[in-house]
A and B are shown apart, each in its own frame.
Chain A
Amino acid sequence: MRAVITETPLFGLTITILAYCFGLYLSRRTRKAVFNPLLIAEIIIIAVLLAFHIPFSAYSKGGEIINMFLGPVTAMLAWSIYRERKLVGKHIMPIIAGTVAGSVASIVTILLLSRLFHLSPELGASLLPKSVTTPIAIAISETLGGTRAITVTSLLFTGVMGNILAPFMISLFHVRSRVAQGVAIGTASHVVGTSKALEMGEDIGAISGIALSFSGISTAIIAMLFL
């Protein structure tokens, strides 16, 4: 009977959707960045798999189906960029300058630190795209030979820390321009940081959303050209 339950793709699908819904519920109730729906869902699923000795291969039959949607989800970012075209047009130069400079800074820092800490090339490749939006980060990590699970883990951690620390970093670095605040949040901490930016103001949130798409694209291009 056990195999009937876990060996169908429906198992992975159901547990993923239910765990995510619970994560959404918890994050809406508490409004705390630490209760990130993605983080909660992952912890619940991993706990269930470990507790009932369910092999990952059984889970991934359904998981792969959800994974398949990463492509369409990434493509859909084009729609968000297009919808904000007026705002993009108005601040196009600062946005490009900020996202490109930020992406270069992120890649260079991670490359240097990976060497300093003697990380394996595989681990380095997994960390490299960790500042950019998840679907693009997973694609870059796979192209560079990284482990996508490590990418997602470090990316989540970065996003949650960015969400919590954004106001602190803004005052620490004396960032007065609202465009600069939005671009910095989106470039450094992708969509999880952007949710904080939205709380700080609709304009900062929109700029942050544009910046996360732009920095994803520029990170992919830089990775393609130099790595």
Chain B
Amino acid sequence: MRILLQLSLLFLLTIIGNAVSSVLPFTFPGTLIALFLLLVLLASGIIREEQLSESASFFSRYMALFFVPAGVEIIESLELLRSSWLSIVLISLISLFVTFLVAAKAVEITERLMMGKEREE
């Protein structure tokens, strides 16, 4: 019954998240609202970490399974893919390098600034 309750809680949070998202004046994914709600429940101690451990380890272990159908949908856009695969590949590669560089350097600069501050204190 534990797992059933865990699943029901996750489903319920998703439903609430989507409901909240539909009345927001701006567009924001409901599943992320569900993520924040769960984070609040955990941080406030209403739900304890181990009360979710079974379904959490199942979902993180087989996470990619849940993305398969969304990917198979590409079969409906093969024309689009055929005409623009080169731009998709180029954009993906260039943005991979740029994102990696910027993220890494932002961390290193922040770490250096914080270390400098500690030394001053």
Contact = CB atoms under 8 A, between A and B. Distances in A.
Interface of A: 12, 16-17, 19-20, 36-38, 41-42, 45-46, 49-50, 56, 59-60, 62-64, 66-67, 69-83, 93-95, 97-106, 109-110, 113-114, 117, 119, 123, 127, 130-131, 134-136, 138-140, 142-144, 147-154, 156-158, 161-162, 165-166, 169-170, 173, 175-177, 179-181, 183-185, 187-189, 191, 211, 215-217, 220-221, 224
Q: Which of B7, B66, B77 has the most CB of A within 10 A?
A: B66
Q: Which of B10, B17, B59, B92 has the most CB of A within 10 A?
A: B92
Instruction: Describe A's contact surface by its main secondary structure.
Output: helix
Interface string B87-102: 1111111111111111
Contacts of A109: 91, 94-95, 98-99
The contact size tier of chain B is 35 or more
B5 interface: no
B3 interface: no
Contacts of B72: 16, 42, 45-46, 49, 56, 59, 63, 149
Given A117-B91, A184-B104, A136 B31 contact: yes
9 contacts: A45-B68, A72-B34, A79-B49, A81-B39, A101-B105, A113-B87, A119-B87, A173-B105, A187-B99
Given A16-B68, A74-B31, A94-B111, A169 B97 contact: yes
A71 B49 contact: no
Interface in B30-51: 30-32, 34-39, 42-43, 49
Interface string B63-87: 1111111111111110011001001
B90 A117 contact: yes
Contact of B70 (A49, A144, A149): A149
Given A169-B100, A224-B27, A179 B42 contact: no
